[in-house]
Amino acid sequence: MTSEVTTPTEPGQTAQSKSQRAHEWIKERIAAGDLAPGHRLVLGSIAAELDMSVVPVREAIRQLEAAGLVTFERNVGAHVAMVDDAQYRFSMQSLSILEGAATALAARALTTEDLRAARDINDEMIKQLDDFDPRAFTTLNQQFHAILFARCANPRMLELVNAEWARLGHLRESTFSFVPGRAAESVREHEEILACIASGEPLGAIEQIARRHRAATLDAYMIHEHPDAALNMPAF
């Protein structure tokens, strides 16, 4: 009792459990691309690496399984979720719908400062077009859309969007890095979206433009990867 301070490091930040630490560690590793899709996750190894027993690691993996980031088979083990082209397509289409709606639901709440910040980021993206680095470009792209979403009137929609992006993991950048020319198109569409929001277009129109922006990225990717395959997705 004497002079116990327990060094709370940060007031209001209770020490997180080991299972939480494992959860975040694995999640970050997947997002960073250190753990490629299909990579096997051995409980014991992860436990050893994080200096804990397997029980918290199991919990973490169960959570990640529920979120769709890893697959888990009884008596076989866990693997980083594979995202094949079909799943990628479906996730991206879902995202186009969710992001379109989220953008519309945020449009009326965006301030002049928000719009300028978004425009600044887009300008930076334009500058980088010549010396193209997929990773840096993708980061800016995330920031751009993050600003547009931030004031979304529906926080649950944001959660859904973020969860879906987490599922796609390190594939974030593939859409830009694999499809030449798409980046230039993308920043043009960004300008269009900003103009639409600034001029107070109807929410339905904003939703459509934002949706098509993401859908176009998906189309470009699909056409680039599978020039022969028909896009079995209804024009939407």
Query: Using CB under 8 A, which residues numbered 106 to 165 contact its own copies?
Result: 108, 153-157, 160, 164
Spatial CB neighbours of 4, under 8 Å, sequence gap ≥ 6 = none
Interacting positions 42-101 with DNA (CB under 7 A): 42-44, 47, 51-56, 58-59, 74-78
Find which of DNA, its own copies, none residue 218 binds, CB within 5 to 8 Å per kind: none
Type and span of the H or E element at 78: strand 77-80
Nearest-approach distance from CB 55 to its own copies, in angstroms: 7
Which string of x and - marks every residue 23-52 that binds DNA (by CB under 7 A)?
Answer: ------------------xxxx--x---xx
HSE value, Cβ hemisphere, 13 Å, CA-based, for 117: 13
H or E, element range at 79: strand 77-80
Crossing angle between the packed helical segments 203-225 and 85-107, to the nearest 10 degrees? 160
Q: Which positions from 131 through 170 interact with DNA, judged by CB under 7 A?
A: none
DSSP string, 4-43: -----SSTT-PPPPHHHHHHHHHHHHHHHTSS-TT-EE-H
Residue 2 binding DNA, by CB under 7 A: no
Residue 5 interacting with DNA (CB under 7 A): no
- Residue 56 Cβ vs its own copies, minimum distance, rounded to whole Å: 10
* CB closer to its own copies out of 147 and 206: 206
